[in-house]
Structure 1
Amino acid sequence: MKLVYVFDAYCGWSHGFSPTLAEIARRHPELPVEVVSGGLFTGPRRVPIREFGYVRGANAKISELTGAVFGEAYERLIADGSFVMDSEAAACGTAALREAAPALAARLAGDLQEAFYVEGLSLSDPETYRLVAGRAGLDGDAVAAAFAAPGARAAARADFRRAAELGVQGFPTLLAVDGDRVAVLAVGHAGADEIEARLAAQAAG
């Protein structure tokens, strides 16, 4: 069995879920975690953040339910409403980080969301990936170069197809996959103990 975590780096609910995923990974080191980018803001949804009037209200709700922090630098970044959340760029960066350290993919996904939601760093900027990689002890120059390479775009689009094939319609979604069996452990918000109970039921079944 493995866990498949389908998220979007520009999804506030995914940011709120990161500590839960980290706790599940800590409790179950025997379960590999596959991280898949879902592609929330692509195509016609790749527009200035002012077009999504619900963002601030949603962030307040996410903070209330999960304790997630939305930093002052992030608030400054989005203040004038012109910032564009480009999920394909974020998925390219996720793929570059994942390729550099597959075993750290879940941690790096969380680190990437911290970079955006706390530090206010754009996930379209290769310097963000250089920084996140370096903090994790990886080769930041190599990751930044991989982010800009054609292979990252191909990997991002493969991720979007994988999410669709898994039937994922909301982010984050955490799945338990065992051969052909796929069980939904969480969609949106869930605590580690809730997921633990669902994992146990899946193992027993």
Structure 2
Amino acid sequence: MTQLIYVADPMCSWCYGFGPELLAFLDTVPHAKIDLIMGGLRAYNKQVLDDATRTSIMGHWQQVAERSGLPFSDSAMPQPGFVYDTEPACRAVVTARTLTDDDTGRSALAVFHAVQHGFYAQGRDVRDPAVLSELAVAAMNKVEGEGSFDVASFAETLVSPMAMSDAREHFEQAKNWGIRGFPALLLVHEGALHMLASGYTTRDDLISTFQALTQQ
């Protein structure tokens, strides 16, 4: 079985733009297992977003929108005092991994993309545990069947010390691998890690790199 490792952050705009390319690539390797590692782009950030930083981030968003064609809401960061802390969103994906029996990783990936869509396209506050729980459970139930998960149980696990510790372990793993930029897609092949994508990468380029590595 093809084993992939996706190192990313739900509140990383280039990860959002990469989503359709990743899904299109996965369609070409339908039996692949994908393991998500959360990178913690701005995890534990406490600083209020200033105007200069907001303008810079919005510039990146414009580039992603132009490259990917994906929608961005004008209300994603509108409120005064916005703190760009990506830890809760990352923790929601980690929680999904913990609660699901789906060893292919597709349920966790669905949650990852649902959180992204909620933040970037709908302008929802994905630092809010209630919002995260709603988005995550809807995505998980879509993959595994309606009624498989409930919001209250997910919300309880999301704020648990175990979930917080697990998220921190994800961030440390990404650092230990030397990955500082997201998205990063790795292939586990012949006992080693190989980089398929470092940053936004198209489906065709992913296929080309994958074939070059696996046909050596």
Q: Which residue of 2 aligns with 1:25?
A: 26
- CA drift of 1:192 comes to 0.7
Within 5 Å, which residues of 2 pair with 1:1-205? 1-43=2-44, 45-50=45-50, 52=53, 53-71=55-73, 75-101=74-100, 102=102, 103=105, 104-136=107-139, 137=141, 138-205=149-216
Note the alpha carbon deviations across 1:105-162, whole angstroms, 9 max, x for none.
Answer: 2222111101111122222212122211332213222211111111111111110111
Tell me, which stretches of 5 or more residues in structure 2 are unaligned?
Answer: 142-148
**Stretch of structure 1 that moved more, 194-203 or 24-33:** 24-33
Residues of 2 paired with 1:188 and 1:202: CA distance? 18
State the secondary structure of the residue aligned to 2:96: helix
State the secondary structure of the residue aligned to 1:54: helix
Instruction: Supply the RMSD in Å over aligned alpha carbons.
Output: 1.7
State the secondary structure of the residue aligned to 1:195: helix
Question: Alpha carbons of 1:81 and 1:56: their partners in 2 closer, same or farther (altered >3 Å)?
Answer: farther
Q: Which amino acid aligns with 1:147?
A: L
Question: Alpha carbons of 1:134 and 1:169: their partners in 2 closer, same or farther (altered >3 Å)?
Answer: closer
Tell me, which stretches of 5 or more residues in structure 1 are unaligned?
Answer: none
- CA drift of 1:32 comes to 0.4
**Stretch of structure 1 that moved more, 15-24 or 75-84:** 75-84
Residues of 2 paired with 1:188 and 1:68: CA distance? 17
* Deviating 4+ runs (over 4 angstroms): none
Q: Which amino acid aligns with 2:61?
A: N
Q: TM-score, normalised by structure 2?
A: 0.86
Are the equivalent residues in 2 in contact too, given 1:97–1:129 (CA < 8 A)?
no
Query: Which is richer in helix?
Result: 1
Q: TM-score, normalised by structure 1?
A: 0.90
**Stretch of structure 1 that moved more, 52-61 or 22-31:** 22-31
Are the equivalent residues in 1 in contact too, given 2:76–2:122 (CA < 8 A)?
no
Residues of 1 paired with 2:88 and 2:111: CA distance? 16
Q: Which residue of 1 aligns with 2:144?
A: none
